[in-house]
Amino acid sequence: MSSQADTQTPVLDWFKWAVVVALVAGGVFGNYYYGEQSLLYRVLALVAVAMVAGFIALQTVKGKAFNQLRKEAWVEVRKVVWPTRQETTQTTLVVIAVVLVVALILWGFDTLLGYIVSSVIG
């Protein structure tokens, strides 16, 4: 019995993906065909088509796996300890200072090498 479910699932998934592709293609064609209509109406129609296509795509095996990955990623994002405003400001100032120091060192080397080359060339 499980072998029948395994063989039917990919066929049904292919059909669902074909519907998603047809919806996206229809949305693109409809946006082009109704180009003279108001942009607001076309955007609303495209958002509706995208929502339907997304809903159908989430019903597939890969869609369910993607949704599970999204949920797990959101849990991990909530675990992140974000820096405070003061830490961010201090880190930014350190980066700017290091960039300025390295820029001055490179400018000094460039000037020195330019002087050496121009004295050798004449």
- pLDDT of amino acid 11: 83
Predicted structure pTM score: 0.58
- pLDDT of amino acid 122: 77
Segment 95-113, tens digit of pLDDT:
999 999 999 999 999 999 9
Segment 13-72, tens digit of pLDDT:
899 999 999 999 999 999 999 999 999 999 999 999 999 999 999 999 999 999 999 999
Could you please report the per-residue DSSP string of 5-73? Answer: HHHHHHHHHHHHHHHHHHHHHHHHHHHHHTTTS-HHHHHHHHHHHHHHHHHHHTTSHHHHHHHHHHHHH
pLDDT higher than 70, residue 1: no
